[in-house]
Amino acid sequence: MSDSILSVHNLIGGYGKMTILNGTTFSVPRAAITTVIGPNGAGKSTVFKAIFGLLKLREGKIVFKDRDVVGLSQRALLNAGICYVPQGRNIFAELSVRHNIELGGVAAGRGIDVASRIEAALDLFPALRRKSAQQASTLSGGEQKQLEIARSLLLDPQLVLIDEPSIGLSPLMVQQTFKILQNLRDRGVSILMIEQNARSALEISDHAIVLELGQTRLADKADRVLHDPRIGQLFLGGAMEETAA
Ligand SMILES: Nc1ncnc2c1ncn2[C@@H]1O[C@H](COP(=O)(O)OP(=O)(O)O)[C@@H](O)[C@H]1O
Ligand SMILES: [Mg+2]
């Protein structure tokens, strides 16, 4: 068994004729939080789409638990243990909180005890448990993001890809959401996250990947990246804030 749960090798691809991933290569350690940082347009979200089979690659290999997963359907990837929480709000506003979470189990087919999985997910999110009967539209932005994470847990994923969870959240909600990711990590889930809120994200991460122009510029322990003066200047100080959307 290799130390990493996922590795991507030499990914090349993009949109139409435009190449965004220029040989992207990195690996993601098991049971750790790995955060991808880098300027807007670097290809961070694109690499997540590629991992989750939403972008057709021209070249490259994606290995999840020692198995090549290029070309698998989303359903197959979910069943293999990869979950994807995209950027933005992706809930069913009219449905109850509990019903939203339940939908996370749809891809599982028969054989899982959905009710007990919902309970286990709600254990991690006390605010969602309190509001489980309410319409999801009544949740705050941060609670809605937590709902998406809770829903993604229904298939008992081993790897969660999460794209900019902190966008639009209050600082307190960001800390709460990061805390939940740390809890998941402590339970053995591997987390690969993209964050513009780079400094706070790296503070709770184990590893960091700096992506630029579709290539890995640096991959190291998060605290080393956090204290690397070059990275500090480029991505963690004012420059990062100015380029944030
Ligand atoms: N669906 C799309 N069609 C065409 N171009 C896209 C699409 N999505 C993203 N891009 C372009 O690809 C580049 C990388 O985007 P993205 O991966 O979203 O960057 P990041 O997440 O690092 O900010 C950007 O130049 C963006 O405009
Ligand atoms: Mg993005």
Nearest CA to ligand 1 atom 27: 41
Nearest CA to ligand 1 atom 16: 43
Q: Give the pLDDT band (50/70/90) at residue 237.
A: low
* DSSP states along 85-134: E-SS--S-TTSBHHHHHHHTTGGG-TTS-HHHHHHHHHHH-HHHHHTTTS
The answer on pLDDT for 239 being more than 50 is no
Q: Give the pLDDT band (50/70/90) at residue 245.
A: very low
**Mutational test site, ligand 1, from 17, 22, 45, max ligand atoms within 8 Å of CB:** 45
Q: What is the distance in A from the centroid of ligand 1 to the CA of 3?
A: 30
The residue ranking higher by pLDDT, 240 or 166, is: 166
For CA atoms 54, 60, 65, 70, the dihedral sign is positive
Q: What is the distance in A from the centroid of ligand 2 to the CA of 44?
A: 5
Nearest CA to ligand 1 atom 24: 41
Which atom belonging to ligand 1 lies closest to the Cα atom of 40?
Answer: 23
Which atom belonging to ligand 1 lies closest to the Cα atom of 87?
Answer: 21
d(CA 146, CA 180): 9
Q: Give the pLDDT band (50/70/90) at residue 50.
A: very high
- The binding-site residues of ligand 1, defined as CB within 6 angstroms of any ligand atom, are 15, 20, 38, 40-46
Tell me, rounded to whole angstroms, the distance of Cα 137 from its chain centroid.
23
Whether the Cβ atoms of residue 49 and residue 56 lie closer than 8 Å to each other: no
% of the chain exceeding 70 in pLDDT:
94
Token pair 């009967």 is found at 133
pLDDT at 236: 67
pLDDT at 42: 95
Q: What is the distance in A from the centroid of ligand 1 to the CA of 186?
A: 32
pLDDT at 241: 42
Q: Residue 211 pairs with which residues in a beta bridge?
A: 216
Whether the Cβ atoms of residue 72 and residue 53 lie closer than 8 Å to each other: yes
The answer on pLDDT for 129 being more than 60 is yes
The answer on pLDDT for 195 being more than 80 is yes
Which atom belonging to ligand 1 lies closest to the Cα atom of 211?
Answer: 22
**Mutational test site, ligand 1, from 20, 35, 47, 210, max ligand atoms within 8 Å of CB:** 20
pLDDT at 113: 85
The answer on pLDDT for 240 being more than 50 is no
Give the environment of ion ligand 2: residues with CB less than 5 A: 44-45
pLDDT at 84: 96
pLDDT at 232: 72
d(CA 212, CA 142): 29
Which atom belonging to ligand 1 lies closest to the Cα atom of 14?
Answer: 12
The answer on pLDDT for 183 being more than 80 is yes
Mean pLDDT of 60-72: 97
